Amino acid sequence: MTFSTSHSPWNKGKRVGQKLPLKLEQIWAIRIRLEIAEKIRELAMFNMAIDCKLRSCDMVKLLVRDISRNGEVLERAQVVQQKTSQPVRFEITKKTRESVEAWIKYRGLTGMDYLWPSRIRRCDHITTHQYARIVKKWVGSIGLDPSVYATHTLRRSKATLIYKQTKNLRAVQLLLGHTNMSSTVRYLGVEVEDALEIAESIEI
């Protein structure tokens, strides 16, 4: 009995695995390009994605009222995650507040409107696929390989920087809305790196 060998593995020629986070200088490179190009919506979206650290399904469904009161963007906000049904809080830094306020004013959005409304379907938000395409465009604009970056890149970026500076896994767990620490450890991929750093600091 013979078997056909014509079928290729689903991942042949594709990059798979966890997507890379952005480094600090890469975040600023994208931000500056969006500012220079006066991309009001995309600048607000990029800044919010970095700060909120939400999954794409939660990011695209943000309502104006989730992050704003009386025309002003909040310093801290909270949403219920679609995946876990658990609330997660996040900070909104000054630069993000300013860019999001500019976008809300420019688009004339009100409390019950989606923060990232669809340009095609009235009263709906952009899709996760549309969001993913925008992210690919951002990373490609600064010369990065879009195949190794995705929407989870923006969720991971600030969390990774926070961990590298503080080594506080519990804080990162809370910020990402993970239900257990092991998920955070796997998500950051820090075990081997941290072990090596500890080993290198000890001479025998």
In a domain, 18, yes or no: no
Structure tokens that stand for 175 in this block? 């910020």
In a domain, 19, yes or no: no
Smallest CA-to-CA distance from 59 within 38, 40, 74, 44 is with 44
In a domain, 102, yes or no: yes
In a domain, 127, yes or no: yes
Find the DSSP H helices in the chain: 24-36, 40-52, 56-59, 64-67, 94-107, 128-141, 151-166, 169-176, 181-188, 191-200
Task: Give tens-digit pLDDT for 110-145.
Answer: 999 999 999 877 679 999 999 999 999 999 999 999
In a domain, 82, yes or no: yes
Residue with tokens 């604009």: 141
In a domain, 16, yes or no: no
In a domain, 4, yes or no: no
Residue 171: give the domain boundaries.
Answer: 24-200
Domain count, the chain: 1
| Contact status, residue 74 vs residue 67, Cβ threshold 8 Å | yes
Highest mean pLDDT among 12-21, 146-155, 185-194: 146-155
- Average the pLDDT over each of 58-62, 91-95, 160-164, 188-192 and give the range with the smallest value: 188-192
Q: Give me the CATH number covering residue 65.
A: 1.10.443.10
